[in-house]
């Protein structure tokens, strides 16, 4: 990671300012380590990308190596929603509700061309939402139609990197 | 039954039927009023026995709307295509055939949704894909939607 | 003083109540929504609500040329992607009266059958998982990866290939193709015995599927239930037998027919189909003739004005393409008769009177692919 990125991390700055404490510096590390290595995705797939997501979870690609193991069927138990497939106008309110039902902290991966931008259904189509970011905020975009399971693994690792940058200080600021 | 015999059979049943040139299937235009009785007869008669509706399509021919029925007999193996015109573009209505072939129930809802052809006596005439408050019928040729469609 | 009215409280509710399954529900295999009306645990009636993945492919096709349409058919029934492509290619070839080389026909037939096997493997994996056996999921997807490797080698991608073009193939098969297919057949013949050991003879599985969701032959025809689900009820509807395309007329295979029509026989029909598919591949794989991988085609494909209908047998049943051409390079109207859409219509009829847990088994045995229902 670049030096500049490290400086963006508010935790490090705080600890630098206060001089730091072995116990306090490790709290963030422990929480982020825990969060990033036990991401529970929601079983949510609308079309073809869902099959590649299943393949990523199955024997050969084995999601579980990265701590993304338990697919949860209920949004209340999951931290990550992988939007795998096209989102159409009728589905958009449902997706929004699913996202709202998830508890904080929650993350979104837009998997595949349809979720990123509408993909092959961008033109001449009357019922497709052109990109899932019109409905919910997205953390990681994975292009491809459909992306290979390896691409999904890479995307998930990028998300873990992102999770590791989170701090308790940030959360407190949001709550205030 | 071969095509010529089927042609005679349908002419005897519906004298107004007009036939169209098609290499694959025998194609007959049936007046909308006589569709239900003709369809029932074709299914129940022993010599025709068209018990399998394998495709039902709505088409917008710009001058009129049309519903196409692809029928097959699993017993005899022959096929026929029936076509019904709906001249009224504002309130088109055709009799349902879903009491004859159960598969038509969903297919007719699809046609109603995408082309706006109403089927009389259908048990559940609602939109199937789009929202209840969606305006217009997308498969019509004059359908315009400036909000949702990005033209290429 | 007011009179107190005592309303008797019933220990057991007898009124119907409704529950909502989906659109986000793991056992509906996608975004299908079922509104189930129940009395206790018994399904009284059921209303499917579709359209949560309706992308309007038929409307898009009216603006697309024929080679472009192939890419959209991939995305309808993505588990039978090759077979859907085959349908469009046959439609164009028949309309233009192009004779494709024998080599192309052989390769297409083999790849179609591989597609069928991988689709059934995924169905088997999900069927087991829906009934609570997670092992099936890992077994099924492990073997499916082997077929995807073969596809990747020759077609260049795993899931959506668009390998067929009107007149032939995108490019020739990989030199390894024959060897890897033969290796796969050898491998899978061994592994499919595990499938049988794990589910087919399992007493819990049989209890949950036998005599559940019975469909008679008359109803199957009337509802238009095709594919293995229809054949389990005795409806002889195999397009490969009745209207052969490719080189199915040269291969010797059996149309799997049962008369029972319950969930268990829909399961067995698919298992037997995998054996038949392997049989077809074994007969053809050594006889691929040498030659071109594509016929000569014009750069712009225009179909003569008229109507065309083409049927192919996908892993889920009869897929029909009805095309009206007005002589332009884009079709005037194209309609995809999708097998899943017809199969969905019967779900209400099948699940009435059974428990809600049986509904999951019945739904899984019909093997829905939701984007094919909504298109």
Distance between CA C75 and CA C84 in Å, rounded?
9
Whether residue A47 and residue C370 make contact (CB cut-off 8 A), yes or no, is yes
Distance between CA A88 and CA C301 in Å, rounded?
31
Q: What is the DSSP letter of C199?
A: I
Q: Is residue B137 part of a domain?
A: no
Q: Is residue B23 part of a domain?
A: yes
CB atoms under 10 Å from CB of C348, counted, come to: 16
- Residue-wise pLDDT for A18-68, tens only, equals 444 566 567 777 877 888 888 888 888 888 888 888 888 888 888 888 888
Pair type for strands A140-142 and A107-111: parallel
Q: Is residue B149 part of a domain?
A: no
Q: Is residue B29 part of a domain?
A: yes
CATH of C55-373, one of 1.10.645.10, 3.30.1540.20, 3.40.190.150, 2.40.50.140: 1.10.645.10
Whether residue C309 contacts residue C322, with contact meaning beta carbons closer than 8 Å, is answered with yes
How many CA within 13 A on the CB side of residue A16? 8
Whether residue B78 contacts residue B51, with contact meaning beta carbons closer than 8 Å, is answered with no
Distance between CA C341 and CA C364 in Å, rounded?
15
Paired residues of C33 in beta bridges: C49
For an interface test with B, the pick among A126, A128, A130, A134 (most B C-beta atoms closer than 10 Å) comes out as: A126
Tokens standing for residue C36: 């189930």
Residue C63: phi, psi to the nearest 5?
-105, 0
Element at C151 (helix H, strand E): helix C134-155
Share of chain C above pLDDT 90, in %: 7
Whether residue A142 contacts residue A109, with contact meaning beta carbons closer than 8 Å, is answered with yes
Whether residue B34 contacts residue B42, with contact meaning beta carbons closer than 8 Å, is answered with no
Residue B66: phi, psi to the nearest 5?
-140, 145
Tokens standing for residue C199: 């589910």
pLDDT of residue A18: 44
- Residue-wise pLDDT for C297-327, tens only, equals 888 888 888 888 988 999 888 889 999 988 8
Question: Is the confidence at residue A94, as pLDDT, over 50?
Answer: yes
Paired residues of C46 in beta bridges: C36
Whether residue A90 contacts residue A126, with contact meaning beta carbons closer than 8 Å, is answered with no
Whether residue B55 and residue C345 make contact (CB cut-off 8 A), yes or no, is no
Residue C48: phi, psi to the nearest 5?
-75, 140
Whether residue B111 contacts residue B96, with contact meaning beta carbons closer than 8 Å, is answered with no
Residues in chain B whose Cβ is within 8 Å of chain C:
22, 24-25, 27, 51-55, 57, 59-60, 68, 70, 74, 77, 101-103, 105-107, 110, 114, 127-131, 138-139, 152
Residue B85's CATH number: 3.30.460.80
Distance between CA B141 and CA C44 in Å, rounded?
41
Cross-chain CB nearest to C55 (options A50, A59, A127): A127
Cross-chain CB nearest to C51 (options A86, A90, A128): A90
Domain span at residue B29 reads 3-89
Q: Is residue B12 part of a domain?
A: yes
Paired residues of C21 in beta bridges: C34
Paired residues of B59 in beta bridges: B66
Q: What is the DSSP letter of C157?
A: -
Whether residue C141 and residue A43 make contact (CB cut-off 8 A), yes or no, is no
Q: Is residue B126 part of a domain?
A: no
Tokens standing for residue C331: 């079709």
Distance between CA B71 and CA C363 in Å, rounded?
27
Whether residue C330 contacts residue C62, with contact meaning beta carbons closer than 8 Å, is answered with yes
Cross-chain CB nearest to A123 (options B130, B138, B152): B152
**Global ipTM:** 0.88
pLDDT of residue C187: 92
Whether residue B71 contacts residue C233, with contact meaning beta carbons closer than 8 Å, is answered with no
Q: Is residue B103 part of a domain?
A: no
Mean pLDDT of chain C: 86
Distance between CA A53 and CA A15 in Å, rounded?
39
Cα Rg of chain C, angstroms: 23
Report the gap between the CA of C118 and the closest CA in chain A (Å): 12
- Residue-wise pLDDT for C55-77, tens only, equals 888 888 888 888 888 888 888 88
Q: Is residue B124 part of a domain?
A: no
Residue C122: phi, psi to the nearest 5?
-70, -40
Distance between CA A111 and CA A117 in Å, rounded?
10
Domain count for chain B? 1
For tokens 């997807």, name the residue. Answer: C141
Average pLDDT over residues A157-161: 82
Whether residue C333 and residue B60 make contact (CB cut-off 8 A), yes or no, is yes
- Residue-wise pLDDT for C104-142, tens only, equals 989 999 999 999 999 999 999 888 888 888 888 888 888
Whether residue C262 contacts residue C361, with contact meaning beta carbons closer than 8 Å, is answered with no
């Amino acid at each position: 990671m670049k030096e500049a990125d490290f400086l963006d991390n508010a935790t490090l700055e705080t600890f630098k300012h206060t001089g730091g404490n072995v116990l306090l510096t490790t709290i963030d590390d422990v929480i982020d380590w825990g969060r990033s290595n036990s991401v529970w995705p929601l079983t949510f797939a609308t079309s073809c990308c869902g099959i590649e997501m299943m393949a990523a979870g199955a024997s050969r690609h084995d999601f579980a190596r990265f701590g993304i193991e338990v697919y949860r069927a209920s949004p209340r138990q999951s931290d990550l929603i992988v939007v795998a497939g096209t989102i159409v106008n009728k589905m958009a309110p449902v997706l929004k509700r699913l996202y709202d039902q998830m508890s904080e902290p929650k993350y979104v991966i837009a998997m595949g061309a349809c979720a990123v931008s509408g993909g092959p259904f961008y033109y001449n189509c009357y019922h497709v939402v052109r990109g899932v970011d019109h409905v919910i905020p997205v953390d990681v975009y994975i292009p491809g139609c459909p992306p290979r399971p390896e691409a999904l693994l890479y995307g998930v690792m990028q998300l873990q990197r992102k999770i590791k940058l989170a701090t308790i200080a940030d959360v407190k600021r949001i709550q205030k | 039954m071969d095509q010529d015999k089927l042609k005679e059979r349908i002419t005897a049943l519906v004298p107004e039927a007009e036939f169209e040139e098609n290499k694959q299937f025998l194609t007959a235009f049936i007046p909308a009023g006589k569709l239900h009785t003709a369809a029932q007869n074709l299914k129940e008669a022993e010599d025709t026995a068209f018990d399998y509706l394998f495709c039902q399509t709505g088409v917008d021919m710009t001058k009129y709307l049309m519903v196409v029925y692809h029928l097959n007999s699993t017993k005899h193996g022959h096929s026929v295509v029936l076509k019904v015109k709906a001249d009224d573009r504002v309130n088109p209505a055709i009799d349902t055939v879903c009491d004859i072939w159960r598969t038509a129930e969903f297919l007719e809802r699809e046609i109603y949704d995408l082309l706006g052809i109403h089927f009389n006596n259908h048990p559940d005439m609602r939109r199937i894909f789009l929202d209840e408050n969606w305006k217009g019928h997308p498969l019509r040729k004059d359908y315009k939607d400036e909000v949702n469609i990005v033209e290429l | 003083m007011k009179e107190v009215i005592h309303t008797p409280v019933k220990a057991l509710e007898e009124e119907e109540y409704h529950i909502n399954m989906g659109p986000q529900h793991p056992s509906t295999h996608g975004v299908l929504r079922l509104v189930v009306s129940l009395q206790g645990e018994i399904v009284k009636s059921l209303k499917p609500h579709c359209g949560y993945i309706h992308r309007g492919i038929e409307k898009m096709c009216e603006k697309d040329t024929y080679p472009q349409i192939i890419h959209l058919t991939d995305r309808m029934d993505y588990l039978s992607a090759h077979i859907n492509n085959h349908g469009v290619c046959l439609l164009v070839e028949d309309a233009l009266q192009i004779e494709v080389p024998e080599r192309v026909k052989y390769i297409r037939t083999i790849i179609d059958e591989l597609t069928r096997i991988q689709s059934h493997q995924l169905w088997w994996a999900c069927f087991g998982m829906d009934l609570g056996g997670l092992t099936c999921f890992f077994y099924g997807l492990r073997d499916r990866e082997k077929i995807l490797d073969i596809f990747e080698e020759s077609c260049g991608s795993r899931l959506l290939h668009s390998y067929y073009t009107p007149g032939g193939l995108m490019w020739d098969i990989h030199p390894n193709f024959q060897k890897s297919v033969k290796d796969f057949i050898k491998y899978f013949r061994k592994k499919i015995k595990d499938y049988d050991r794990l589910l087919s003879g399992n007493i819990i599985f049989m209890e949950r599927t036998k005599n559940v969701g019975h469909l008679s032959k008359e109803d199957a025809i009337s509802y238009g239930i095709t594919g293995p689900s229809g054949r389990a009820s005795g409806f002889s509807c195999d397009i490969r037998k009745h209207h052969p395309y490719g080189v199915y007329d040269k291969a010797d295979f059996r149309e799997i027919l049962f008369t029972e029509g319950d969930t268990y026989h829909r399961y067995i029909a698919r298992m037997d189909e995998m054996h038949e598919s392997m049989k077809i591949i074994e007969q053809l794989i050594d006889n691929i003739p040498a030659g071109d991988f594509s016929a000569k085609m014009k750069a712009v494909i225009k179909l003569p004005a008229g109507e065309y209908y083409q049927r192919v047998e996908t892993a889920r049943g009869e897929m029909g393409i009805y095309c009206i051409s007005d002589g332009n390079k884009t079709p005037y109207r194209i309609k995809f008769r999708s097998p899943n859409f017809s199969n969905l219509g019967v779900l209400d009829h099948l699940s009435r009177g059974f428990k809600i847990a049986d509904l999951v088994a019945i739904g899984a045995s019909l093997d829905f692919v939701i984007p094919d229902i909504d298109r």
